[in-house]
Structure 1
Amino acid sequence: MASKKGGLGKGMNSLFGANNVSKEAVEHTKIVTKEQEATEQVVKLPLEDVQPNPFQPRHHFDDNKLQELAASITENGVLTPIIVRQNDSKFEIIAGERRVRASKLASLKEISAIVRQVDDDTMAALALIENLQRDDLDAIEEAQAFDALMKRLDMTQAEIASKVGKDRATVANLLRLLKLPESVQNLIQNGDLSMGQARALLGLKKKTQIEKVAEIVVSRSLNVRQVENLIKQMNEGTPEVRNKEVSPFVLALSNQLEEKFGTKVKVNAGNKGNGKIEINYVSNEDLSRILALLDIEVD
């Protein structure tokens, strides 16, 4: 069984500087992930016994790049051994998860590895540092990295913010994304929803509507301001329909029409596909402006 403590000298506090990850942390991970020493042996491990870093919050990898690496491994083999630690009868990855995944795609049964002794705290630090240093890290993965560190070391949001050089509000907003349904988190990771849009969705009073509204936001390409207005309307409702379930589609349509005409627009949808649209205007000049937008000329 892997040890739980030790091996970090000054402890986790030395891992982070005022700006993201400290030089000390980077140097420490370089020591752990350094190339093979003369006294170390490269061993062959069954791929079925190799497991991801248990503290690694990243679960999404570029499929195309993995396929390219798998093709290279099929032709040339794994040129650089992965680095692992032993945990009972299994081995946990310290460095080389892409090589492991690609080797499985290439239908290999074994992989070359160097086995090192690394404690849990270092494994957690490696996972966090690797994630925070990635240019393509999405908001959900960053939130998962912070959440994992908070749980691992029992740290508060303020302490995390201080350690990684971010505003506390930024950390708090990222962590709030983990309260979204998994399907909505997937939309963020796929690039279909921005962090701003997702944060607006969290403002919905009826949390059961989040997934439905997220679909509308994506399908109608609503911007952040439109999403915020939509959420506000859904939360407030209108006096006439306060006790009636309002279609998210109708609310989204009203919001888009208001954006187009620059005035209050009310959409009343009937039960048989009929309905009416009311467009408010405050003066004759305002009416003329709206008619011009509709390309209507009145003699």
Structure 2
Amino acid sequence: MSKRLGKGLDALLPALSINDDDKVVEIPLSQLRANPYQPRRTFHDESINELAASIKEHGVIQPIIVRTVLKGYEIIAGERRFRASQVCGMATIPAVVKKFSDQQVMEIALIENVQREDLNAMEVAVAYQALIDQFSLTQEELSVKVGKSRSHIANFLRLIHLPEEVKQYVSRGTLSMGHAKAIVGLKDAKLIKALAEQAIKEQWSVRELEEEVKRLEEKADTKKTSAKAKKKDPYINELEETLRDVYRTTVKIKHNNNKGKIELMYYSKDDLDRLLELLQGKIS
């Protein structure tokens, strides 16, 4: 087991092992239901069929772990074995019944999949957010529980704010986690979608996408600066230049509705004294 796991999960995962004291029972598949906290949403038919073929030949070697619920049993660990047994047309499956709280079930489902790298980036993000919402955890508390850094948690949670279409790209693996991180900070949802589609179409690397984002941001900043400069009154520009020549320093005139102020910049005490002498001379 990874030493990076949080203490809470460190204590939970050994409970998934089966020892000689555990009683294995045959449970009808009809009485089983999937773990509602299972973060994995995609089960590939090919891998399930391969497992089904193995079960047909050898049976279910490792019992699944379940807990008792109102109507039957809920799967804690072993959903792939359950699904493969359905494919085989089996009536029952060997299982061990254990007691777990909702939070424990949720944490186990998440970490079991993450440790096996069964989840895509969006599934991990949704699972992290569900844990935070369901049990009022802070990002720091969650990072301890799952044995990941705070920045790791934050990066995944940011994916929740992507447009739905882009989330689907990440879920399908069409867009990588790195690509998603490059565009998730943009404010314009349409731009995020357009960049995602362009990155997929042109097979951009993460670096190429980052450079395109940087180029667009620099272009936007230039437009803002240019627009701001254009809005400035030509008369004010002329006055600033005149005063710069007179006082030999940077001069800014800020005005609004015929009211405003004139700013004279100085860069040392001597510079300030020089400006004060000039101003006093002008006043007198």
With the shorter chain as reference, the TM-score category is 0.5 to 0.7
Q: How does 1:39-50 map to 2 (within 5 A)?
A: 40=23, 42-45=25-28, 47-50=29-32
Cα 1:49–1:180 change in 2 (3 A) is farther
> Taking structure 2 as the reference length, what is the TM-score of the superposition?
0.66
Aligned residue for 1:108? 90
**How far apart are residue 232 of structure 1 and its match?**
4.5
Query: What is the CA–CA distance in structure 1 between the aligned matches of 2:103 and 2:91, rounded to whole Å?
Result: 30
The answer on whether the counterparts of 1:52 and 1:93 sit within 8 Å (CA) in structure 2 is yes
Q: For each residue in 1:4-29, what CA deviation from the matched residue of structure 2 results, as whole angstroms up to 9, or x when unmatched?
A: xxxxxxxxxxxxx983334x733533
Q: For each residue in 1:184-237, what CA deviation from the matched residue of structure 2 results, as whole angstroms up to 9, or x when unmatched?
A: 233324433222210222233321343343121111011223323433455655
SS at match of 2:65: strand
Query: Is the helix fraction higher in 1 or 2?
Result: 2
Query: What is the CA–CA distance in structure 1 between the aligned matches of 2:163 and 2:56, rounded to whole Å?
Result: 39
Query: What is the CA–CA distance in structure 2 between the aligned matches of 1:168 and 1:41, rounded to whole Å?
Result: 40
Pair 1:34 & 2:18 matched: yes
Larger Rg, first or second structure (1 or 2): 2
Query: What is the CA–CA distance in structure 1 between the aligned matches of 2:148 and 2:205, rounded to whole Å?
Result: 25
SS at match of 1:42: strand
**How far apart are residue 137 of structure 1 and its match?**
4.2
Work out the percentage of aligned pairs sharing the same amino acid: 40
Cα 1:123–1:56 change in 2 (3 A) is same
SS at match of 2:5: coil
Aligned residue for 2:173? 191
Q: For each residue in 1:68-98, what CA deviation from the matched residue of structure 2 results, as whole angstroms up to 9, or x when unmatched?
A: 1111223333233322112111321122111
Cα 1:152–1:18 change in 2 (3 A) is farther
- RMSD of Structure 2 on Structure 1 (CA): 3.0
Aligned residue for 1:19? 4
Q: How does 1:261-276 map to 2 (within 5 A)?
A: none
The answer on whether the counterparts of 2:65 and 2:78 sit within 8 Å (CA) in structure 1 is yes
> Taking structure 1 as the reference length, what is the TM-score of the superposition?
0.63
**How far apart are residue 130 of structure 1 and its match?**
1.0
Cα 1:149–1:36 change in 2 (3 A) is farther
The answer on whether the counterparts of 2:9 and 2:146 sit within 8 Å (CA) in structure 1 is no
Aligned residue for 1:57? 39
**How far apart are residue 159 of structure 1 and its match?**
2.7
**How far apart are residue 59 of structure 1 and its match?**
2.1
Q: For each residue in 1:95-135, what CA deviation from the matched residue of structure 2 results, as whole angstroms up to 9, or x when unmatched?
A: 21110111122233432333333222321231233133224
Q: Which runs of 5+ in 1 are unaligned?
A: 1-16, 243-299
Q: How does 1:89-108 map to 2 (within 5 A)?
A: 89-108=71-90
Query: What is the CA–CA distance in structure 2 between the aligned matches of 1:21 and 1:176, rounded to whole Å?
Result: 22
Aligned residue for 1:249? none
Aligned residue for 2:120? 138
* Paired residue total: 221
Letter in 2 for 1:214: A
Q: For each residue in 1:134-189, what CA deviation from the matched residue of structure 2 results, as whole angstroms up to 9, or x when unmatched?
A: 24543323323322221232111233234445443332111011222344233324
Aligned residue for 2:65? 83
The answer on whether the counterparts of 1:144 and 1:175 sit within 8 Å (CA) in structure 2 is yes
Letter in 2 for 1:91: Y
Cα 1:92–1:153 change in 2 (3 A) is same
Say which of 114, 132, 139 aligns to 1:157: 139
The answer on whether the counterparts of 1:140 and 1:177 sit within 8 Å (CA) in structure 2 is yes
Query: What is the CA–CA distance in structure 1 between the aligned matches of 2:58 and 2:152, rounded to whole Å?
Result: 44
Q: Which runs of 5+ in 2 are unaligned?
A: 227-284
The answer on whether the counterparts of 1:18 and 1:163 sit within 8 Å (CA) in structure 2 is no
